[in-house]
Chains A and B, each alone.
Chain A
Amino acid sequence: EAQVTQNPRYLITVTGKKLTVTCPQNMNHEYMSWYRQDPGLGLRQIYYSMNVEVTDKGDVPEGYKVSRKEKRNFPLILESPSPNQTSLYFCASRRTGIFSSGNTIYFGEGSWLTVV
């Protein structure tokens, strides 16, 4: 079954304590991305990656880091979380290549992060 898996799904952490959210996918997709979803603001892209070792900033990258050392995983890193990073986070992936702009994006089930 095609899957994008996020871990952890739920986390409460304290300000300043580093955390990592992993995102393995089993579809061999090149493109991966992280979004945060906040009420009234919809989905905002944090970072994306076109392939291994190729990452780029999205619309709201401040306070986040990413890593793409292997094709299947695209972890999101909060080096020093702050309360304004409390949000619902989604990882997504998509196949790239010719006509890839029409390809379906597959989403994980989301990770609820609360920073206190």
Chain B
Amino acid sequence: AQSVTQLGSHVSVSEGALVLLRCNYSSSVPPYLFWYVQYPNQGLQLLLKYTSAATLVKGINGFEAEFKKSETSFHLTKPSAHMSDAAEYFCAVSAARGGSYIPTFGRGTSLIVHP
């Protein structure tokens, strides 16, 4: 079975500080990994995804994530937090189930940005 673990249900940073949201996965085959963002009262939208090309993936709004196979991690970072980054962030892995790739989501991390 495939799974995703997001460390920390809440992460609090000051505006301008580094953002680091952690995601570890388990997979018996090379995974496809995603980060989605959910702004208040909205659905989820894709932030970035890893599909076995470059291990450092750049996404929208200055976010990036690095795939580290040895650590089974796909942590999300942003050098300088902005107030508008306050949202819920979900890590997901695309998992094979019965020959089809079914996405599995982590429990989410709420990013709080202080002025």
Q: Chain B interface mostly helix, strand, loop or mixed?
A: strand
Assess the A50–B100 pair: CB atoms within 8 A: yes
Q: How close is A113's CB to chain B, nearest CB, in angstroms?
A: 15
Query: Which of A33, A35, A101, A105 is the one whose CB lies under 8 Å from B46?
Result: A105
A107 within 8 A of B: yes
Q: Given A42-B108, A43-B90, A102-B32, A107–B102 Cβ distance below 8 Å?
A: no
Kindly list chain A residues whose C-beta atoms are within 8 Å of the C-beta of B104. 45
Q: How many A-B residue pairs have CB under 8 A?
A: 58
> Number of B residues contacting the other chain (C-beta, 8 Å)?
28
CA of A110 to CA of B39, assembled, Å: 12
CA of A107 to CA of B43, assembled, Å: 6
Interface footprint category on A: 20 to 34
A-B residue pairs in contact (CB < 8 Å), sample of 13: A4-B43, A42-B6, A48-B102, A56-B98, A99-B51, A101-B94, A102-B32, A102-B51, A104-B46, A104-B49, A105-B34, A105-B36, A107-B44
